[in-house]
Amino acid sequence: MTATRKVCWITGASSGIGATVAKALALQGHTVILSARGRPALEALAAEIREAGGIAEAVVADVTQHEEICKAAEQILSIHGRIDVLVANAGLNVGSRAWGVVSIADFDRLIQVNLSGVYYCIDAVLPGMRKHGGGQIINIASWAGKFASAKPGPAYTSAKTAIVALTASLNMSEYMNGIRACAISPGEVATPAMARRDPPVPQPVLDRMLQPEDVAAAVAFVVDAPARACINEIVLSPTWNAAFGAPAVKAAA
């Protein structure tokens, strides 16, 4: 358990990477604030963390709504007095994502969630972090933001590439305020989102992907770094990396 308890706000916390990050940080002894659009899943996760001895609260907010995000930040500050860590994790992709296939509505939605939503959350926490002379912002980017390929589609690739640049820009601007930012860029992660792929991803392939726990461990490592150290970026991939041309793993007969 960490010696210094931090107030950690995690977006996209209702499932997948976000939920696993919340559990990992709570296990370290931090207070975790869980945000997503749906209350039932957040409340269930908060209850699970509390039953395990952690401190967790649910604050419903949609990252695409700047006013909602600002109100959520104000609510957290009114209770805890500070936000030490923001984990901007909320993100999505769609099935019909390729050039000539992705709709304008889906393209706009992906940019709004994956890029604007991250900016809105950062914008909401920066004043408080500046006031307290420090803070950590961890943006969940993607392998697609470091190594462009056709598979993720133009909207997702563009947004995640922008997140890596946004993080670097933040470090350039805020280092004098003691604020540190890290972009974590994972390759394929076996999250519930994989179940929405068509065709479904077979279990042997899922088993060789990164797991949410792997990304959560990277987040916990960054959060635990001393204030003098800024971990600017982490690029994380499965050893059996499809991006390197790894052959598909066939499902058992």
Structural domain contains residue 241? no
Structural domain contains residue 63? yes
Contact criterion met (CB below 8 Å) for 52 and 64: no
pLDDT at residue 199, as a whole number:
74
pLDDT at residue 250, as a whole number:
53
Structural domain contains residue 246? no
pLDDT at residue 252, as a whole number:
43
Structural domain contains residue 94? yes
Give the separation between CA 72 and CA 57, rounded to whole angstroms: 12
Enumerate the β-bridge partners of residue 166.
Answer: none
List the CATH number of the domain containing 59.
3.40.50.720
pLDDT digit string, tens, across residues 9-50: 999 999 999 999 999 999 999 999 999 999 999 999 999 999
135: helix, strand or coil: strand
Structural domain contains residue 251? no
Structural domain contains residue 249? no
pLDDT at residue 253, as a whole number:
36
Structural domain contains residue 252? no
pLDDT at residue 94, as a whole number:
82
pLDDT at residue 2, as a whole number:
53
Residues carrying an active site annotation: 156
Taking 70 as the pLDDT cut, the residues of the chain under it are 1-3, 196, 198, 246-253
Structural domain contains residue 72? yes
21: helix, strand or coil: helix
Range(s) of the domain holding residue 71 = 7-235
pLDDT digit string, tens, across residues 237-251: 999 998 888 666 554
Number of structural domains found in the chain: 1
Q: Which letter does DSSP use for residue 14 in this model?
A: T
